[in-house]
Amino acid sequence: MKAVSKFLVLGCFLICCGSLAAQVTPPNSKRPGGKEALPEKIKLGEDEPGCKDSALLARIPGCSIIQCDNKEADGLDIQVGASPDGTIQKEAMDGTAEIIYYLCPARITLPQIVKLSDGTLSKSGYKTVFYGKDGDDFPIVTGLKDNQWVQISTYMYDGNSAYIQTALKVPLENQANTDAMAEEMAKTGRVVLQGLAFDNDDQLSADSEKILTDIDAFLVRQPDLRIRVEGHAGAAGDRAANMTASQRQASAVATWLLSHGIEKSRISIQGMGDTKPLPDGTKNSRIELVKF
């Protein structure tokens, strides 16, 4: 196949890949309008010159590499969940990305690709963050080990099974807050949140966005964790009013998390008012995440 023809094939291939593949454009490639523009079909059996398997995960036997890309990613979407109503939860991450596109024989089904990949990831020490379907109802699996993400997303191309293997290494400093939350939860069964601010008692302020994002990322990385969001008030003021305010603040945090893809079954809320002051008397007005 001539070089120009191959770039045309790969351009159309990217159109068929879905939302993740659309973020990766190979150098000097063109994007024809559809399959009718293809001079030839992509064929199995030969790897794209210059491409090789990742050191993190072996290919599914029988599949061929038809495209690869290594780059510094800025806001690359990784699917980390899906709610019961089908809402897809993705997290935009920065880091070093290695993306490999595979085409497989028709005898290898999409569920088999994901099942085999999940097994390999598990044996390599990865924790399965999500195993299910993507927004187009194709099987997908996402694993995490330390700061290394691996996602296998599948689709069909011209009657053949195909998949995209995305490996993203996130800088350790980007995970510092979520790692600290995980450590505190493992030690004490609770996380005392610092820095959350509210307007009008129960409206989260814009300054709280960063810590809320960290909480969301922490829960994404702990898919089996169920928490109670507890609101706590200071000693000043009427006790009944404190109880109401703490309940509303806990509800505001839970609502934010639910709106960002955390499943409802994983979260409960409780207002504690001023009934549980901290031993040193500081930071009594606070939110806590408690494992249950």
For residue range 183-209, what is the model confidence (pLDDT) as tens digits?
Answer: 999 999 999 987 788 887 678 888 888
Residue 152: inside a domain: yes
The reply to whether 235 and 270 lie within a common domain is yes
Q: DSSP letter for 141, please.
A: E
The reply to whether 164 and 245 lie within a common domain is no
In the chain, how many domains are there?
Answer: 2
| Structure tokens belonging to residue 63 | 């599949």
Q: pLDDT value at position 155?
A: 95
Residue 9: inside a domain: no
* Average pLDDT in the chain: 82
Residue 269: inside a domain: yes
Q: How far is CA 126 from the centre of its chain?
A: 14
The parent domain of residue 151 ranges over 42-169
Q: d(Cα 143, Cα 278) in Å, to the nearest integer?
A: 37
**Does the pLDDT at position 102 exceed 70?**
yes
The one-letter code for the residue type at 127 is K
Residue that is last in its domain, among 125, 153, 169: 169
pLDDT band at residue 41, thresholds of 50, 70 and 90? low
Residue 65: inside a domain: yes
Best CA proximity match to 14, nearest among 69, 54, 61: 69
Percentage of residues in the chain having pLDDT higher than 90: 49
**Does the pLDDT at position 8 exceed 60?**
no
Q: pLDDT value at position 9?
A: 40
The reply to whether 49 and 161 lie within a common domain is yes
The reply to whether 215 and 275 lie within a common domain is yes
Residue 10: inside a domain: no
Residue that is last in its domain, among 169, 200, 219: 169
List beta partners, residue 169.
Answer: 96, 148
Q: pLDDT value at position 95?
A: 93
Residue 47: inside a domain: yes
120-166 pLDDT per residue, tens: 999 999 989 899 999 999 999 999 998 899 999 999 988 899 999 99
67-89 pLDDT per residue, tens: 999 999 988 999 988 777 777 88
Residue that is last in its domain, among 169, 185, 217: 169
The reply to whether 157 and 214 lie within a common domain is no
